[in-house]
Structure 1
Amino acid sequence: MKKFAYIGCLGFVGVITTEFGVIGILPQIADHYQITIDKAGILLSAFALVIALTGPFMTLLMSGFDRKKVMLAAISIFLITAIVSSFSPPFWLLILVRLLPAFLQPVYIATALSVAVSQGNQDNKNELMSIVFSGVAIAMVTTVPLATYLASLFSWEYSFVVQAVVSTVAFLGIYFVLPLMPVREKKSHGSQLKILSQPTFIISTAMNFFMISAWFSTYSYFADYLNKAKYMDNTKVSYMLFLFGLIGLLANWIAGKMLNKSVTKTTAFFLSGTIIIPILLHFSGGNTMATLIVIGIWGFLYAPSFLNASTYMISSVPKSLEFANSLATSFGNLGVTLGTTAGGWIIATRGVGYTPWLTVIFGTLAFMMMGWRSYLERDCTLNECRTKSHPDIV
């Protein structure tokens, strides 16, 4: 039933609003606490680093619990974080309270995907996953730009009020719609860890890492980039975020359909944005209309990145969906950390206008990983390919 996928999507909106809602208000936070923009970026990079370091372990630890209770526990922590953050605590406390939900974020995502896929069949698995992942695009078109807009009208604390409201709605949706879902057959930790010995899975993980690093080396500083490189005020930035998310919503739906036909070609198509977008941003200069068009293309090619990364990794180990997805979430967020940190360093040393070229470097590395995996799969024997790969990757 698609109903379960939509509930997972609703919770995903709350998760993404909390993690990425700060992107549009980093300049205001930096001003409030009188710190540099790269230090304010710690709010994003530290969150992502906790996910990267603890995600797989937390997923394994929680794999035997009732799935509904796991999702409720995760959303509850996100709600508490939003409430505390809205009171503008000291910066060290703001960082600390943002780290708490990071421990359960990959658990929520892996569980929501497992719940959605368990109600479907093999033919529409990727489509159900795309529904859950559309929560990313929905957040980008609704709650994230709304939070940025309210922050530009009033103060940055209102962004966290939006996050609290969204988390509350998600909690109620999960509580009243999902039935109790105890795990009938718990897989042993050893059987799940076996995927770490498969070369194609390891290479797919590296591709995910570099792809997300590519996007977030610039996207993490979206507001600051548009402020200083494209001369837009905070209200215009909120409009750009709205456009970014609106286009991304369509992209996620299209990507779900495309992934059902070919995982590799779809991933490569959207990954091409890491090369194309920086070039277009460079040539758009200070022209607002040209920049608007580029941001629309950017939103389209960026939006399905987490869906593509997870599907690409899972396609090499299709029988280990939950653990493989937790690793996808972990290494994706490690990519967020690297991209944000590298972007912050470039801003501090060269200026925000140079961050898109980091996207090109990391994007090229991601394409190299895809080429390496394809080479290994072509080189293996027919029987090995059948056991190690998913049939729709070519």
Structure 2
Amino acid sequence: MISHTSLPPAPLLHRSIKRILRAESPVSKTIGPPPMPLSLLSLAVAAFGIGTTEFVIMGLLPDVARDLGVSIPDAGLLVSGYALGVVIGAPLLAILTNGLPRKATLTGLMGLFIIGNVLCALAPSYDLLMAARIVTAFCHAAFFGIGSVVAADLVPRQKRAQAIALMFAGLTLANVLGVPAGTALGQWLGWRSTFWAVVGIGFAAFIALLILLPSNIPMKKGRILTEFRVLKDPQVFLAMAISVICSASLFAVFTYISPLLSTVTHMSPHAITGALLLFGVGLTAGNMLGGKLADWRLMPSLIGALVVLIAVLALFVVTSTSMIPALATLLVWGVLAFSIIPPLQLRVVDTAHSAPNLASTLNQGAFNLGNAIGAWVGAVAITHGIAYQHLPLVGVALSCVALALSILSAKMDGPLLATAEERG
């Protein structure tokens, strides 16, 4: 017979029963937050491949031009063609993939990516290479758009921006690792070998998506024409406009960073390569930082990053004349430039909650539209006599516009200091 004294005290027994009913581990609160799901890795691998094929062509322009018998400026249009393909592909793929299961859609888009890069590697002429680049670009906006929503749905609400940032880490790593490695490979074995290598990355991503991505990802179904009405929402429009202008601010300066570092900072080609690598490290760090800050305070983080970005770009006018200060400024600029990407992507998903896949996909087109606009604005500024040293002031002006729109959008929300939980 069990004595009365052998039973645990009533308060302790009561807590134990409650813990069992809630399936709560006694040590669960000491372990910390659960890790990010492994399925996000498959999205990051795919982003790495897409980012590599988008930007690696810049390092291979002389080889492509020489092999296909075109001028370097004509070869440079392969960059513009890709960006145009993203802008066109965003609404087109949003319509074609509407209502399809997310896993099937993402694996199908990666299949299109593989086919496009195979065509790039085999293209016998400039025109066919341009067409292949556009085909490849079609999957870009849809993959990043749908992938952002999927990444956000795979984690708790308070970690959504970090999940998006983890996927976009593949894109930033493409600038740090994929582009330099692809350029070196293309210069060694010919530019076609780089595209074959990207095909291999695409196959790895395809397999990772099949294995790691869950099949039962929830999705909201709706009529595509009805979903397009979400663009009438002023907050959705503002979020995309900010994406365009922020991207334009970056590319108005970054497109011409090599001649700037060469003529103003007097760096050698080898030193410029190292500087771009450092900038890529900044992009990667900023991407992850932006995810954490956006999950904490989305709009204040975006506004704060833009304020500091404006100051850093203005400072670059002064620091660009000396190597060490210029390198330090490049690193900080890279951190700030990509710290605003996860907040902007999550902002679009949040404001377009009735059509997140469509809006997120279109926002990728907005980023690339900003790329093209920024490069054009920078070219116009240089043509009209703006010195390379003062080109960062163009980025300052564009960032000021983005800051004004961000403040307007935040004021339309109500209280500025809303947390992720309070937003949702």
Mean Cα deviation higher: 120-129 or 25-34:
25-34
Match of 2:376 among 341, 354, 357: 341
Task: Give the corresponding residue for 1:295.
Answer: 330
Map 1:189-208 to 2 at 5 A. Answer: 189-208=224-243
Q: % of aligned pairs identical?
A: 20
1:70 aligns with 2:108: no
Query: Aligned equivalents of 1:278 and 1:50: distance in 2?
Result: 30
> Which one has the largest radius of gyration?
2
Post-superposition CA distance 1:19-54 (Å, at most 9, x none): 2223444566567755355x5442223322232233
1:114 aligns with 2:171: no
Query: Aligned equivalents of 1:5 and 1:207: distance in 2?
Result: 26
Query: Aligned equivalents of 2:330 and 2:361: distance in 1?
Result: 30
Task: Give the corresponding residue for 1:35.
Answer: 71
Q: How far apart are residue 200 of structure 1 and its match?
A: 1.9
Q: How far apart are residue 233 of structure 1 and its match?
A: 4.2
Q: How far apart are residue 181 of structure 1 and its match?
A: 4.8
Task: Give the corresponding residue for 1:139.
Answer: 174
Post-superposition CA distance 1:134-154 (Å, at most 9, x none): 222221221123224445667
Q: Which has the higher contact order (CA 8 A, sep 6+)?
A: 1
SS at match of 2:100: coil
What one-letter code is carried by the residue in structure 2 that aligns with 1:220? T
Query: Structure 2 stretches of 5 or more lacking a match?
Result: 1-35
Contact preservation (8 Å) 1:274, 1:359:
no
Task: Give the corresponding residue for 1:374.
Answer: 410
Task: Give the corresponding residue for 1:265.
Answer: 300
RMSD: 3.2
Match of 1:81 among 97, 116, 121: 116
1:21 aligns with 2:95: no
Post-superposition CA distance 1:257-284 (Å, at most 9, x none): 1111111121123333552343333212
Task: Give the corresponding residue for 1:251.
Answer: 286
Query: Aligned equivalents of 1:243 and 1:222: distance in 2?
Result: 13
Post-superposition CA distance 1:132-190 (Å, at most 9, x none): 12222221221123224445667655543443333232223223333445776522224
Mean Cα deviation higher: 326-335 or 219-228:
219-228
What one-letter code is carried by the residue in structure 2 that aligns with 1:283? V
Contact preservation (8 Å) 1:50, 1:99:
yes
Mean Cα deviation higher: 351-360 or 66-75:
351-360
Contact preservation (8 Å) 1:46, 1:337:
no
Contact preservation (8 Å) 1:45, 1:340:
no
Q: How far apart are residue 12 of structure 1 and its match?
A: 0.9
Query: Aligned equivalents of 1:24 and 1:115: distance in 2?
Result: 32
Contact preservation (8 Å) 1:346, 1:352:
no
Contact preservation (8 Å) 2:39, 2:214:
no
Query: Aligned equivalents of 2:216 and 2:97: distance in 1?
Result: 13
Q: TM-score w.r.t. structure 2 length? A: 0.79
1:53 aligns with 2:88: yes
What one-letter code is carried by the residue in structure 2 that aligns with 1:85? C
Map 1:291-370 to 2 at 5 A. Answer: 291-347=326-382, 350=385, 353=389, 355-370=391-406
What one-letter code is carried by the residue in structure 2 that aligns with 1:299? G
Q: How far apart are residue 82 of structure 1 and its match?
A: 3.1
What one-letter code is carried by the residue in structure 1 that aligns with 2:287? N
Query: Aligned equivalents of 2:406 and 2:310: distance in 1?
Result: 15
SS at match of 1:64: coil
Query: Aligned equivalents of 2:210 and 2:121: distance in 1?
Result: 25
Q: TM-score w.r.t. structure 1 length? A: 0.85
Q: How far apart are residue 338 of structure 1 and its match?
A: 0.9
Query: Aligned equivalents of 2:265 and 2:150: distance in 1?
Result: 43
SS at match of 1:120: coil
1:353–1:286 CA distance, 2 compared to 1 (3 A): closer
Q: How far apart are residue 211 of structure 1 and its match?
A: 0.9
SS at match of 2:351: coil
Query: Structure 1 stretches of 5 or more lacking a match?
Result: none
SS at match of 1:315: helix
1:240 aligns with 2:295: no
